[in-house]
Structure 1
Amino acid sequence: MKYSFAINTAIGLILSLGAFHSANAQVSKEDNSQAEKLYQQHCQSCHGVDRLGAMGPALLPENLARFRKNKAIKVINKGRAATQMPAFNKTLSKAEIEALASYIYTPSKASLSWTIADINKSKVEHFDQSKLPNEAQFDADLMNLFIVVELGDHSATLLNGDTFERLDRFKTRFALHGGPKYSPDGRFVFFASRDGWISKYDIYNRKTVTEVRAAINTRNIAISSDGNYLIVGNYLPNNVVILNTSDLSPIKVIDAKDSDGVSSRVSAVYNAPPRHSFIVALKDVKEVWEIPYSDKGGVEVYKGWAHDYKNEAKAEGWKLEHQFPVRRIKTDDVLNDFFFDPEYINLIGTARNSHNGQVINLDTKKKVASIALTGMPHLGSGITWDYQDKEVFASPNIKEGKITVIDMESWQVIKEIQTEGPGFFMRSHSNSPYAWTDVFFGPNSDKVHVINKSTLEIVKTLAPSPGKNAAHVEFTKDGKYVLLSVWDMDGELIVYDANTLEIIKRMPMKKPSGKYNVYNKINYEKGTSH
């Protein structure tokens, strides 16, 4: 279904539902053939060959969870709010839309399994890493580099954050998703694509060195703080895959099933540095997982659950050391979006159809508070800062035009800052007095608000390229400059002075989206996403 890939999480909302009913899937061979042609014409470019997913999610009975066919017809007919899914009611007839809806509920001819053997077989070694120099082959502050993802032609730019000059521009896999992640020393950057490809790029030598396909449909990746392990969260198959970062060889595949054996898609994976563990968000069951990647995880660092950790590991028949045991944390509802406090003690999550957020203490595995949250807060793009001698958390909202500011001690809403429309990304820096947020959805998508963090007021609204979607800022290492994307095929990367808000430079780019500063990412700078 022809739409532009735009945002990391909102795309995942498209048709992210459903129970498969075989009665609804019965179509004649003739009807099925016609529907397949319609799919190839209107849907394949985004949802992939054999409906296995590409820019958009896989459209298969196995991962259309919690969604009935009549609702699928409605989505195809009218599109889906807060995503890039368009309406087809003026393009296709009623009968064609019904045929398409029936078709996506029929089994795919393609194999839906992806094993360790498949991962190993897929490996592509472009360069022998051991033979490449261990020093950067260019002059720049290696901590103030950026990777800029250009979705328009599936490329990425390596950018000097001091001079704002390109150091490299290289092709990426189709439809990157979830944000690239850096090794702790900043030398390597890892990418994940919608269709499961994991790529390792050597910044020092400006070369993609190794790639493997870890899954059929991937959500995102995270890297352990010691730099040894990379975890891949997947929609298809329902699992997480743990890779060795040195050569991207698979170490372990863990099926995403709750304690009752119910399978689930994995909506996201995170690194929790103080805990020496990964956190896994499950999309279809009422559990969150913690997976220690070091024997320090939960034992030496968090004595409070050492006994629990050992018992669970023993019960599953796993050894403690580097075997990635799963620690299950029960939740009151299926959580769709996540944020963590800076110490990674508390998880803040929201359920899609709830008006409350849940605060879950990861040490005790219990809910400690509820937060009044309406609309569709995008916690994954939330940020924290100090306000009136307390730490606050602020989240944009992809359904309502507001920013919600929350006291992280009382978990009470301090203020709702009204914006000119729903937004998706929010960013700041510890050295900046301002927080920036876009108005990604709706008629004012060319606007960006600048909020004073000490007053919680919008001090300026920018329209950097009128009529074109402006979104996602990232700060330089020192917080002096802000880089903003104009999400258009004839788009731009715009550099602002972070204090005067004056434009310093404009760089033409092909639909630039996320920008990722090496220092801010590897040091978990407060104002950026993790």
Structure 2
Amino acid sequence: MTYHIPLLTLLIFSQSISADLLGTGDLGVIIEREPAAIQIINTTSKSSISRITDLGDLSHASVVFSRDARYAFIFGRDGGLTKIDLLQDRIAKRIIQAGNSIGGAISQDGTLIAVSNYTPGGVKIFTTETLELVADIPALYGDNQLSKVVGLVDALGQKFIFSLFDAGEIWIADLKDPAQAKIQKFKAVGKQPYDALLSPDGRYYIAGLFGDRGLALLDLWSPEQGVKRILPDYAKQDEKLPVYKMPHLEGWAVAGNLMFIPAIGQHEVLVIDQSTWQLIKRIPVIGQPVFVMARPDGRQVWVNYAFPDNAHLQIIDVKTLSLIKSLNPGKAVLHSGSRYFCESLFWASQPKQAAKT
């Protein structure tokens, strides 16, 4: 049997397919904090493609992407976990998995999503396909207390690493078998680890300490050596200033063998030599740094700040370890990206309150 389809219909159909074709690597997401929405953008044309609303509390939202870059997973402050289909411009799945969340990570093979929670304290693991809960890891310490969880990252071998703020501990969760997660605990790493990062080569997990001097360093190639303290004497004699916004350690910059980190409560960016873990320079800046981001080629480092200096950006030259430019793009500069240096501006009538959220 032969079917005849009008030529005009075929042309319209083929044109619609062509217009919709888009590489997922070209897509990005912009978080709209106050409207509880996101925009899906084309990073090549620098244009907005669509807008998705009703995403809950995005006051401390973060995003990770699936391995094929088709899906974005949005972690909301209200415990919401939302899977966004970037090609179909829609919510594929949304759940409320806790009362207060702070971020998440996706596993090495892309099959698992982990969420770090403040309330109730712990980590929950979901499948990326359906957002079905496959593991629940309460952050228990002391007399059956629950700790806030921070600094969650994914590591090689289907592992997640995170810090317990209230307990002063670092845990490694092995999820090769999600039904029987294996937990390795490192206790007494320092007071109040508030955030952490994984070095670009995946070897070192470094947690910042809000209640102690220095940083907690875990060598994942030799975890049996335990956690050691680096920079224990930094700023011992310096005056402690009010901290309006905690630095974000996932925003630490690594350029060559140098690591640039924001100093807590100080108007400085610290430069550390990764080969020795020694402080080699303190760079004075205009305010308390929040994000310190390296340009993709590692030649420059861009810095933004907490209130009351959060209208400023400054650029550090990595070769000379000195400030080379100061910018003033607008009120409440918040976050930064890497492929393009993208800053979100939060226009608030009360910037002091905004800076503390």
Pairwise TM-score range, normalised by the shorter structure: 0.7 to 0.9
Tell me the residue number matched to 1:246.
129
User: How far has the Cα of 1:180 moved from its partner?
Assistant: 0.9
Tell me the residue number matched to 2:224.
364
Are positions 1:183 and 2:48 aligned together?
Answer: no
C-alpha distance in structure 2 between counterparts of 1:416 and 1:256, whole Å? 35
C-alpha distance in structure 1 between counterparts of 2:73 and 2:18, whole Å? 17
AA partner of residue 180 (structure 2): Q
The 3-state SS of whatever aligns with 1:168 is strand
The 3-state SS of whatever aligns with 2:25 is helix
Tell me the residue number matched to 1:475.
338
Q: Is the 8 A contact 2:247 2:291 kept in 1?
A: no
Structure 1, residues 143-180: CA drift from partner, whole Å, max 9, x if none?
13221111131111111111111011111422223411
Q: Is the 8 A contact 2:36 2:57 kept in 1?
A: yes
C-alpha distance in structure 1 between counterparts of 2:348 and 2:51, whole Å? 16
C-alpha distance in structure 1 between counterparts of 2:111 and 2:105, whole Å? 11
C-alpha distance in structure 2 between counterparts of 1:237 and 1:483, whole Å? 33
Q: Is the 8 A contact 1:330 1:365 kept in 2?
A: no
C-alpha distance in structure 1 between counterparts of 2:157 and 2:280, whole Å? 29
C-alpha distance in structure 2 between counterparts of 1:429 and 1:449, whole Å? 13
C-alpha distance in structure 2 between counterparts of 1:188 and 1:282, whole Å? 29
Q: Is the 8 A contact 2:134 2:179 kept in 1?
A: no
Tell me the residue number matched to 1:347.
205
Q: Is the 8 A contact 2:301 2:315 kept in 1?
A: yes
Structure 1, residues 207-253: CA drift from partner, whole Å, max 9, x if none?
10111111111121111121111111111112221111111111121
AA partner of residue 333 (structure 1): G
Which residue, out of 162, 169, 180, partners 2:51?
169
Tell me the residue number matched to 2:281.
415
**Which moves more between the two structures, 432-441 or 417-426?**
432-441
Q: Is the 8 A contact 1:275 1:344 kept in 2?
A: no
Q: Is the 8 A contact 1:448 1:471 kept in 2?
A: no
* Structure 1 residues 155 and 289, CA gap change in structure 2 (3 angstroms): same
The 3-state SS of whatever aligns with 1:424 is strand
AA partner of residue 384 (structure 1): V
AA partner of residue 355 (structure 1): R
User: How far has the Cα of 1:141 moved from its partner?
Assistant: 4.1
Which residue, out of 304, 309, 312, partners 1:438?
304
Q: Is the 8 A contact 1:233 1:239 kept in 2?
A: yes
User: How far has the Cα of 1:328 moved from its partner?
Assistant: 1.2
Tell me the residue number matched to 1:451.
316
C-alpha distance in structure 1 between counterparts of 2:228 and 2:69, whole Å? 36
Are positions 1:333 and 2:216 aligned together?
Answer: no
Gaps of 5+ in 1: 1-134, 295-319, 491-510, 512-530
* Structure 1 residues 172 and 437, CA gap change in structure 2 (3 angstroms): farther
Q: Is the 8 A contact 2:134 2:178 kept in 1?
A: no
Q: Is the 8 A contact 1:231 1:240 kept in 2?
A: yes
**Which moves more between the two structures, 182-191 or 366-375?**
366-375
Q: Is the 8 A contact 1:378 1:398 kept in 2?
A: no
User: How far has the Cα of 1:445 moved from its partner?
Assistant: 2.1
User: How far has the Cα of 1:322 moved from its partner?
Assistant: 5.3
Structure 1, residues 263-287: CA drift from partner, whole Å, max 9, x if none?
3222242111x34310121111132
Structure 1, residues 257-310: CA drift from partner, whole Å, max 9, x if none?
1387443222242111x343101211111321111122xxxxxxxxxxxxxxxx
C-alpha distance in structure 2 between counterparts of 1:223 and 1:202, whole Å? 16
TM-score, scaled relative to structure 2: 0.82
User: How far has the Cα of 1:137 moved from its partner?
Assistant: 7.2
C-alpha distance in structure 1 between counterparts of 2:247 and 2:39, whole Å? 30
C-alpha distance in structure 2 between counterparts of 1:411 and 1:381, whole Å? 18
C-alpha distance in structure 2 between counterparts of 1:419 and 1:358, whole Å? 24
The 3-state SS of whatever aligns with 2:173 is strand
Are positions 1:202 and 2:85 aligned together?
Answer: yes
Gaps of 5+ in 2: 1-16, 241-245
Taking the TM superposition and a 5 Å limit, the aligned residue runs for 1:265-414 are 265-272=148-155, 274-294=156-176, 323-334=180-191, 335-362=193-220, 363-371=223-231, 372-374=233-235, 378-386=248-256, 391-414=257-280
The 3-state SS of whatever aligns with 2:306 is coil
AA partner of residue 145 (structure 1): L
Higher strand share goes to which structure? Answer: 2
Taking the TM superposition and a 5 Å limit, the aligned residue runs for 1:438-517 are 438-442=304-308, 444-465=309-330, 468-476=331-339, 481-488=340-347
C-alpha distance in structure 2 between counterparts of 1:203 and 1:368, whole Å? 42
C-alpha distance in structure 1 between counterparts of 2:207 and 2:34, whole Å? 32
* Structure 1 residues 286 and 470, CA gap change in structure 2 (3 angstroms): closer
User: How far has the Cα of 1:367 moved from its partner?
Assistant: 2.8
C-alpha distance in structure 2 between counterparts of 1:353 and 1:244, whole Å? 35
Q: Is the 8 A contact 1:396 1:402 kept in 2?
A: yes
AA partner of residue 406 (structure 1): I
User: How far has the Cα of 1:327 moved from its partner?
Assistant: 1.4
Tell me the residue number matched to 2:6.
none
C-alpha distance in structure 2 between counterparts of 1:291 and 1:429, whole Å? 32
Taking the TM superposition and a 5 Å limit, the aligned residue runs for 1:13-92 are none
AA partner of residue 239 (structure 1): G
Higher RCO, Cα 8 Å, sep 6+: 1
User: How far has the Cα of 1:365 moved from its partner?
Assistant: 4.7
Tell me the residue number matched to 1:85.
none
TM-score, scaled relative to structure 1: 0.56
User: How far has the Cα of 1:395 moved from its partner?
Assistant: 1.0
C-alpha distance in structure 2 between counterparts of 1:464 and 1:332, whole Å? 39
C-alpha distance in structure 2 between counterparts of 1:432 and 1:321, whole Å? 37
* Structure 1 residues 332 and 368, CA gap change in structure 2 (3 angstroms): closer
Structure 1, residues 355-395: CA drift from partner, whole Å, max 9, x if none?
22222223225134421444676433212111xxxx11111
The 3-state SS of whatever aligns with 2:62 is coil
Identity %: 24
Higher helix share goes to which structure? Answer: 1
The 3-state SS of whatever aligns with 1:174 is coil
AA partner of residue 161 (structure 1): T
* Structure 1 residues 470 and 218, CA gap change in structure 2 (3 angstroms): closer
AA partner of residue 228 (structure 1): T
What is the aligned length?
320
C-alpha distance in structure 1 between counterparts of 2:288 and 2:18, whole Å? 41
Tell me the residue number matched to 1:149.
31
* Structure 1 residues 369 and 286, CA gap change in structure 2 (3 angstroms): closer
